Amino acid sequence: MAPDRPGPPGTRLLLCFPALSLARKAVRSGLDPWLLADRAHQRVFTPLAGGRLVLVDPGDEAAVAAAVARVVRERAITHVLDATGFPVAGVPGPESARAPHVLADIGELGRVLARSRHPMVRTRVVAAAGDVPAAAAEIGWPVVVRSECEQTVVWSAPALERWLAAPGRRAPFAVAEFVAGPEVVTTTLTHDGMHRVVGLTARRPGAHGVRYLHPAPLPESAAMAVRAAVTAMLDLVGYEFGPAETTVVLADDGPRIVGSRPCFGTRGIPRLIKTATGFDVQTELFRALAGVPVHPPVPRWFAAVEFFRPFAGRPGDGLPGLRVLAEGATPEAVEARLDAARDSVPPTRNDDCYVRFAGNTVRVEVSGIEDGMDWEQRL
């Protein structure tokens, strides 16, 4: 292995199978990361990493684990992330290594939070639609059934039968107790055990799927309660480093945790944050590693996305991944554009169709993955 180049004192980062764009952000933030990459991508990453590139077959779990352990040991690595932002095990410190897995495991997180001020919403995750009735019976009616493209409150067993009979249901499913109140997806960045809430995004059912709006239109007292609940949860599990995305229900008796993921973000939420504020979640975590304090952004713009659940009726309907993005100066303007966009989604056989309503126009722009991001995002 080649020697390390000078970098921030005490900071050594290993990225495992990152997208080229993620590795670039680390370098542009002042870091000299080591990269674990597929041999097929050697030509892509060599100019960026040079001697800090380790090639391994991603399908060989034993080889990957051995490569991570070797680089961590020989290069005194302090932080390891995979392509999604999950803090990979391998860095010394059993508690810090365990924390991301606690966050990612609904059952384990529920046990940790059971005696806290903000207990978790009771949830069961099932792999198939046929397992939903048993999970619902265990939790008790009504339940909330969540999947990638939708969120539905189901009030009874007959109602669940009708829900299951509809076409296009996509597993896995999270079956949870019904807790009344708005849902907020909280995006955090943690470095050296210090948590920064960098985004509050509203999650709500849409007419044809699920909708996310950033920033969430909340009174400051409610926003403060959400921030306090999420940072207390991260403290409780001992989360020391990494991004996280946590869903919270603002119930009458206070915030309740729905679930959490140690990752940069899902469902396009990091893109909403960047559209509304210019704040790039990945870049800011790397800048924190480089010694730059994280300053949560102040939104002055709104952005939203609606993910369509599969349904029948027009050519191209029923395809996974169909989504509509809108942005504007007020939540009302953004929601109105999303409503208008429903009837403007073009028939397509491209799962990556992306429709964008921007500014004060109703012109529809259809482009590739993530609104025209270039091919390197797919590596």
CATH number at residue 165: 3.30.1490
- Residue ranges making up the domain that contains 50: 13-92
CA dihedral (61, 77, 98, 264) in degrees, to 10, reads -80
Residue 159: which H helix or E strand, with range?
helix 157-165
My answer on whether 244 and 323 are in the same domain is: yes
My answer on whether 142 and 262 are in the same domain is: no
Q: Which of 149, 177, 205 is the last residue of a domain?
A: 177
Within a domain: 8: no
User: Identity (one letter) of the amino acid at 166?
Assistant: A
CA distance 280 to 248: 22
Within a domain: 98: no
Q: Which of 134, 149, 177 is the last residue of a domain?
A: 177
User: Which residues lie below 8 Å from residue 325, measured CB to CB, with a gap of 6+?
Assistant: 268, 271, 275, 303, 304, 305, 354, 355, 356, 357, 371
My answer on whether 172 and 192 are in the same domain is: no
My answer on whether 307 and 350 are in the same domain is: yes
Within a domain: 6: no
Residue 56, CA atoms < 13 Å, CB-side half-sphere = 22
Count structural domains, the chain: 3
My answer on whether 171 and 255 are in the same domain is: no
Residue whose pair of structure tokens reads 């999970």 in the numeric block: 135
My answer on whether 190 and 214 are in the same domain is: yes
Q: pTM above 0.85?
A: no
Q: Tens place of pLDDT for every residue, the chain, 379 residues?
A: 444 444 455 789 999 999 999 999 999 999 999 999 999 999 999 998 889 999 999 999 999 999 999 999 999 999 999 999 999 765 555 455 789 999 988 888 988 988 888 888 988 888 888 899 999 999 999 998 887 667 788 999 999 998 888 776 777 888 989 999 999 999 999 999 999 999 999 998 776 678 899 999 999 999 999 999 999 999 999 999 999 999 999 998 899 999 999 999 987 899 999 989 999 999 999 999 999 999 999 888 899 888 766 544 443 333 444 677 888 889 998 888 888 776 665 544 444 444 444 443 333 333 222 333 333 333 3
Within a domain: 260: yes
